[in-house]
Amino acid sequence: MSTDSASLVMRLTFVATLGGLLFGYDTAVISGAVSSIDANFIDPLQLSETARSSLSGWTISSALFGCVVGSSLAGWASNALGRKGGLLIAAALFLVSAGGSAYPELGLGPIGGMGPRALTPFILYRILCGVGVGIASMLSPLYIAEIAPSRIRGRLVSFNQLSIVLGMLLVYFVNWAIASQGNEAWIHATGWRLMLLSEAVPAVLFLALLLRVPDTPRWFVIKGHDDRALGVLRRLVGESEAHRVIADIRESLRVASQSGTVSLFAFGSLVIVAGILLSVFQQLVGINAVLYYAPLMFKNLGASTDSALWQTVIVGVANVVFTLVAIATVDRLGRKPLLIGGGLVMGVAMVTLGFQFKANAEGTGPLIAAMAYIAGFALSWGPVTWVLLSEMFPNSIKSRAMAIAVAAQWIANLFVSWSFKILIGNSTLNALWNHAFPYWVYGGMSFLAAAFVWLYVPETRRRTLEEIQNLWTGGDARATAAAKQSAAG
């Protein structure tokens, strides 16, 4: 690859990863505004404790509902409007929702004067933002995978996961900087709005840069614009290689059409089931229970509020550091070894953490177990799941199949986030095991995830996207055989 081609690939990857940064930014920005949202919109309603908690929980998690909707729509958007077109929609939704959630009264009444009546438009804007997150969560890694050379594709797609965790860390510092500008009354009146509005800055940058990038060659070929695909490929891989890639893409599309229709199951059911289970296992290992509720986890172990927050920051830093390690190793070690090894590390760490809870342990032991778990996830199931989802599906069904898998991931995210509070607060389970039970469940799921990858997921390292399709073109029997042969090798 020439220097100019490598530079172009990196520039396009950077633009696409801004979608991942906004994904992480939006996931975490709400954390700084929770108490102000309650004070402005929910406390004045004077609801019962249960009703208040329920409404507050729905307000904060409403974006997850939008994520399910957005990821479901992403397949249609990426096919009808292009990968770039879908990302433009996501960028616009990030921008609109940043302003709308910061000032939900806009156009409806005086800013700060509507009280609880502003809660409904606030939730609608948060759902819109979730739709943007859902679209970006699918299309950012897909765009990168379709413009990246096979030998560094895993590394480049992993940059998207790095952007997600960096977005989370960035917004923690932004929220802290805003909160430090005034007292609690100022934060409830103005500070929380600035926190949510701050998302407009990366959203504007994302939107502006997207207008200057091309769509992917594979989408151009799917739509019959071979000349435009060839033009992009010449810049990405050079003249001679461009013609070979075009021929491979055309051939991959003809394989699917031989059956007369490009059915979602034209390549067998295993590729679809494997994609869905990869997504679901990524959530069932409990990552978002740890990331969303880390302060609560450390408080349940006896840490003070300040200590719990600092331990949470340490966990976040570990997430970033080990994601960098994954970026450096995913194209050298392969997808399967990282996923299997990471699953085993997470399983051991979660089981250990559960026993720490059962023994009511304090000090560094639980923190070490939590960091080991985060390291295992950041090395494997965090970035590598997105790498596989972006490359494993054949071209002709990629948009639809990936949309289904990512939607399943967000549904699983919602389920884990909701069920954790139930499990961690169950008095019967706590009387028996002192908050340990959910961590043992996540440990068991981590071991199952590793076993699933070993048995059913083929290695895709250093294969072109069209070569990966050949793993599935023989239907269920051949795909299963290929997967088991890869596992044995």
- Residue found under tokens 């970006």: 136
Q: What is the mean pLDDT of residues 274-282?
A: 95
Q: What is the mean pLDDT of residues 170-187?
A: 84
Q: Is the pLDDT of residue 489 over 50?
A: no
**pLDDT tens digit sequence for 328-362:** 888 888 889 999 999 999 999 999 988 988 887 76
CA angle 216, 255, 277 (to 5 degrees): 70
Count of CB atoms situated within 10 Å of the CB of 73: 18
d(CA 35, CA 218): 46
What pLDDT, on the 0 to 100 scale, is given for residue 240?
77
d(CA 423, CA 414): 14
Count of CB atoms situated within 10 Å of the CB of 401: 22
Lowest mean pLDDT among 59-73, 120-134, 167-181, 244-258: 244-258
Confidence of residue 436 (pLDDT cuts 50, 70, 90): confident
**pLDDT tens digit sequence for 458-472:** 888 878 777 777 777
Sign of the Cα pseudo-torsion (479, 481, 487, 489, in order): negative
d(CA 288, CA 379): 16
Q: Judge if pTM exceeds 0.75.
A: yes
For the chain, the average pLDDT equals 84
Q: Is the pLDDT of residue 486 over 60?
A: no
- As a whole-number percent, the residues of the chain with pLDDT over 90 amount to 36
Burial of 477 (0-12, 13-18, 19+ CB in 10 A): exposed
Q: Is the pLDDT of residue 484 over 60?
A: no
What pLDDT, on the 0 to 100 scale, is given for residue 21?
94
What pLDDT, on the 0 to 100 scale, is given for residue 377?
93
Closest by CA to 413, choosing from 2, 150, 133, 53, is 133
Question: Which amino acid would we find at residue 269?
Answer: S
What pLDDT, on the 0 to 100 scale, is given for residue 362?
66
Burial annotation 308-325 (CB, 10 A radius, 16+ → b, else e): bbebbeebbebbeebbbe
- Quick one: three-class SS letters along the chain? CCHHHHHHHHHHHHHHHHHHHHHHHHHHHHHHCHHHHHHHHHHHHCCCHHHHHHHHHHHHHHHHHHHHHHHHHHHHHHHHCHHHHHHHHHHHHHHHHHHHHHCCCCCCCCCCCCHHHHHHHHHHHHHHHHHHHHHHHHHHHHHHHHHCCHHHHHHHHHHHHHHHHHHHHHHHHHHHHHHCCCCHHHHHHHHHHHHHHCCHHHHHHHHHHHCCCCCCHHHHHHCCCHHHHHHHHHHHHCHHHHHHHHHHHHHHHHHHHCCCCCCCCCCCCHHHHHHHHHHHHHHHCCHHHHHHHHHHHHHHCCCCHHHHHHHHHHHHHHHHHHHHHHHHHHHHHCHHHHHHHHHHHHHHHHHHHHHHHHCCCCCHHHHHHHHHHHHHHHHCCCHHHHHHHHHCCCHHHHHHHHHHHHHHHHHHHHHHHHHHHHHHCCHHHHHHHCCCHHHHHHHHHHHHHHHHHHHHCCCCCCCCHHHHHCCCCCHHHHHHHHHHHHHHC
- As a whole-number percent, the residues of the chain with pLDDT over 70 amount to 88
Q: Is the pLDDT of residue 387 over 80?
A: yes
Most confident of 11-20, 176-185, 411-420: 11-20
Q: Is the pLDDT of residue 440 over 70?
A: yes
Q: Which residues contact 172 (CB under 8 A, 6 or more apart)?
A: 28, 31, 32, 313, 316
Burial of 113 (0-12, 13-18, 19+ CB in 10 A): exposed
What pLDDT, on the 0 to 100 scale, is given for residue 483?
39
CA distances from 372 to 30, 293, 381 (A): 27, 17, 14
What pLDDT, on the 0 to 100 scale, is given for residue 275?
93
Q: What's the gap between Cα 107 and its chain centre?
A: 33
Q: Is the pLDDT of residue 477 over 80?
A: no
Q: What is the mean pLDDT of residues 252-261?
A: 55
Q: What is the mean pLDDT of residues 310-328?
A: 78
Lowest mean pLDDT among 121-125, 456-460, 469-473: 469-473
Q: Which residue has the higher pLDDT, 310 or 355?
A: 355
Question: Which amino acid would we find at residue 440?
Answer: W
Lowest mean pLDDT among 114-118, 150-154, 368-372, 423-427: 423-427
Q: Which two tokens stand for residue 65?
A: 């509902």
Q: Which residue has the higher pLDDT, 436 or 294?
A: 436
d(CA 122, CA 128): 10
What pLDDT, on the 0 to 100 scale, is given for residue 262?
65
Confidence of residue 272 (pLDDT cuts 50, 70, 90): very high
Closest by CA to 468, choosing from 398, 406, 393, 405, is 393
What pLDDT, on the 0 to 100 scale, is given for residue 394?
85
What pLDDT, on the 0 to 100 scale, is given for residue 292?
61
CATH numbers and ranges of domains, the chain: 7-215 (1.20.1250.20), 217-257 (1.10.286), 265-489 (1.20.1250.20)
What is the rounded end-to-end Cα distance, in angstroms, of the chain?
30
Lowest mean pLDDT among 1-5, 192-196, 274-278, 335-339: 1-5
What pLDDT, on the 0 to 100 scale, is given for residue 245?
83
Most confident of 180-184, 258-262, 333-337: 333-337
d(CA 112, CA 110): 6
What pLDDT, on the 0 to 100 scale, is given for residue 132?
95
What pLDDT, on the 0 to 100 scale, is given for residue 86?
96
**pLDDT tens digit sequence for 353-383:** 889 888 877 667 777 888 889 889 998 998 8
